[in-house]
Structure 1
Amino acid sequence: MTPPLKATLGKVPAVTLGFWVIKIAATTLGETAGDAVTMSMNLGYLTGSLIFAAIFMVAVSAQIAAKRFHPFLFWGVIVATTTFGTTLADFFDRSLGIGYVGGTSVLLALLLGCLGLWYRTLGTVSVSRLTSRPAEIFYWATVMFSQTLGTAAGDWMADADGGLGLGYGGGALVFAAALAVVAAAYYWTSISRTVLFWAAFILTRPLGATVGDFLDKPVAHGGLALSRYTASAVLAIFILGAILILPQRAEEVPPLAADEA
Structure 2
Amino acid sequence: MDLSTKSALSKVPEVTLLFWVIKIAATTLGETGGDAVSMSMHLGYLIGTGIFSVVFLAAVFAQIRAKLFHPFLYWTTIIATTTVGTTLADFADRSLGIGYAGGSTLLSALLIGSLFIWYRTLGSVSVNTVSSPKAEMFYWVTIMFSQTLGTALGDWTADTAGLGYTGAALVFGALLALVAAAYFWTKISRTLLFWAAFVLTRPLGAVVGDFLDKPLNAGGLALSRYSASAALLAFIVICMLLFKQRAARSPH
Equivalent position amino acid for 1:18 in 2:
L
Give the letter aligned to residue 248 of structure 2.
E
Distance 1:180 1:44 in 2: 35
Taking the aligned partners of 2:93 and 2:38, their CA distance within structure 1 comes to: 14
Q: Tell me what 2:60 maps to.
A: 60
> 1 CA distance for matches of 2:138 and 2:228?
32
Query: 1:246 Cα shift?
Result: 2.1
In structure 2, what is the equivalent of residue 199 of structure 1? Answer: 196
State the partner residue of 1:86.
86
Report deviation, 1:132: 1.8
What CA deviation, in whole Å up to 9, does each residue of 1:205-258 have, x standing for no partner?
A: 000000000000001110000000000000000000011112311111123xxx
Aligned amino acid, residue 83 of structure 1: T
Give the drift of 1:130.
1.3
CA displacement, residues 43-95 of structure 1 (integer Å, 9 cap, x when unaligned): 00000000000000000100000000000000000000000000000000000
Structure 2 residue aligned with 1:20: 20
Over alpha carbons, which structure has the higher Rg?
1
Report how many residues are paired: 248
Unaligned runs of 5+ in 1: 256-261
Structure 1 partner of 2:213: 216
Paired residue for 1:238?
235
Correspondence list, 1:127-166, <5 A: 127-159=127-159, 163-166=160-163
Percent identical pairs in the alignment equals: 69
**TM-score (ref. length: structure 2):** 0.97
CA deviation profile, 1:116-140 (whole Å, cap 9, x unmatched): 1101111110011113211110000
**Which has the larger share of helix?**
2
In structure 1, what is the equivalent of residue 179 of structure 2?
182
Gaps spanning 5+ residues in structure 2: where? none
Matched with 1:259 is: none
The ranges of structure 1 where at least 4 consecutive aligned residues each deviate by more than 2 angstroms after the TM superposition are: none
Q: C-alpha separation between the residues in 1 aligned to 2:244 and 2:198?
A: 19
Q: RMSD over aligned Cα, in angstroms? A: 1.0
Query: Which residue does the alignment assign to 2:8?
Result: 8
SS at match of 2:64: helix
